[in-house]
């Protein structure tokens, strides 16, 4: 056998091994099939033609925007992806977890993963602890910073909430570990329970809700509220519902936006379930090619004003995964400018930092030091 054939054989074997690793576990990580989801989704008035729909006409991608001065998406992937990374390592805050949950607080673990404290209850929302937001462990967007705390070190949780089934909000490995280490129910939009059942979450720990439906856990009311987004973990789109969430205790209220484009429905949510003492709203991964399903920072400020007159704005859905083409810190720079114009109070925790909403918020601007 010639040297060339040996080299080619080694390359082929290496490529085959890499492909095998990339494909390992994909069917299970993707989750339930449409046929397994439909029985739980079909009863919703928002479910038509085998899929869920937004109230506002929406598209998840507008390729025609390239004709308006924006690059082709393929060109952007090769020329602009590096803009979404900071020049220096992202700092992690030391873990602070009081024995008892506070009156109003949030700990941000990165992206949309947060631990919310409302009137002595703890809600873990959109927990994603894996290194990649992908069905594969070797392909897909990877973390820009480590997880600030191990899942096993979290305090006792009262509810685990999911906004929708995209990989950066619903992660199989995280769900399975929380099933083992916590006893809290999973409160999810319609259809997502099918993914959880496939991953062996006990039926009695699954609560599925449609928009404007509620569940009560102790003195805490969790309401599934509208969002303007989409869903899908494989080739099938919109077979499960997407949502935002209102968390209400006896005295405090928090709104969790998950991921959403701007919609006038936020004002309706504010009237029906607010006003909110704190809003957690997405500010990153926006682009002119998908304006309907991701808010930019200015739209997020408008959404905050719609939801509450005086609450604290805590930005989420930024800094952890490089999912768009804007510079890494641009969402927060634009957010501060837009918030200042209308007098909105913004608190930007670093990953792992706990923000007490009952105290004066300090303005550290830690992100400005990273470039």
Query: What's the pLDDT at 182?
Result: 98
Task: State whether the Cα torsion 45-51-54-56 is positive or negative.
Answer: negative
pLDDT tens-digit profile of 328-348? 999 999 999 999 999 999 999
Query: What's the pLDDT at 360?
Result: 79
Query: What's the pLDDT at 44?
Result: 97
Query: What's the pLDDT at 117?
Result: 98
Query: What's the pLDDT at 84?
Result: 84
DSSP string, 111-166: TTEEEEEETTEEEEES---SSBSSSSSSSS-BBSS--SS-GGGS---SEEE-S--S
> How far is Cα of residue 236 from the mean position of the Cα atoms in its chain?
20
Which residues of the chain, if any, have pLDDT below 50? 7-8, 10-11, 13-14, 18-19, 24, 66-67
Query: What's the pLDDT at 268?
Result: 97
Query: What's the pLDDT at 21?
Result: 57
| Ordered structural domains, the chain, with CATH | 86-357 (3.60.15.10)
Q: Cis omega (within 30 of 0) on the bond before 275?
A: yes
Query: What's the pLDDT at 18?
Result: 41
Query: What's the pLDDT at 222?
Result: 99
């Amino acid at each position: 056998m010639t040297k060339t054939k040996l080299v080619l054989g080694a390359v082929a074997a290496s490529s085959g091994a890499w492909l095998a690793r990339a494909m390992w576990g994909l069917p299970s990580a993707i989750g339930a099939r449409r046929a397994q989801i439909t029985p739980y989704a079909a009863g919703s008035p928002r479910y038509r033609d085998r899929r869920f729909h937004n109230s506002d006409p929406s598209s998840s991608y507008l390729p025609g925007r390239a004709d308006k001065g924006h690059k082709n998406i393929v060109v952007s992937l090769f020329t602009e992806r590096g803009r979404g990374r900071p020049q220096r390592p992202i700092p992690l805050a030391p873990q602070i977890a009081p024995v008892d949950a506070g009156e109003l607080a949030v700990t941000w673990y990165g992206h949309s993963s947060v631990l919310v404290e409302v009137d002595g209850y703890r809600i873990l929302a959109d927990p994603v602890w894996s290194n990649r937001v992908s069905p594969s462990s070797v392909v897909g967007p990877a973390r820009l910073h480590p997880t600030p705390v191990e899942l096993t070190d979290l305090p006792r949780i009262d509810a685990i909430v999911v906004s929708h089934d995209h990989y950066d909000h619903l992660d199989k490995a995280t769900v399975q570990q929380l099933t083992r280490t916590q006893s809290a129910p999973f409160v999810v939009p319609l259809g997502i329970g099918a993914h959880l059942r496939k991953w062996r979450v006990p039926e009695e720990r699954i609560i599925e809700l449609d928009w404007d439906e509620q569940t009560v856990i102790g003195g805490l009311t969790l309401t599934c509220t509208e969002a303007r987004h989409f869903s899908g973990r494989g080739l099938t789109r919109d077979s499960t519902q997407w949502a935002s969430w209102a968390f209400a205790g006896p005295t405090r209220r928090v709104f969790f936006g998950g991921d959403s484009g701007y919609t006038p429905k936020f004002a309706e949510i504010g009237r029906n379930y607010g006003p909110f003492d704190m809003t957690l709203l997405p500010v990153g991964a926006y682009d002119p090619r998908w304006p309907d399903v991701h808010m930019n920072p200015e739209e997020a400020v408008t959404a905050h004003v719609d939801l509450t007159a005086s609450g604290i704005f805590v930005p989420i859905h930024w800094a952890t995964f490089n999912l768009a083409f804007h510079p890494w810190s641009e969402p927060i720079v634009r957010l501060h400018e837009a918030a200042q114009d209308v007098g909105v109070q913004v608190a930007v925790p670093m990953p792992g930092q706990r923000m007490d909403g009952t105290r004066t918020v300090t303005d550290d601007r830690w992100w400005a030091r990273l470039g």
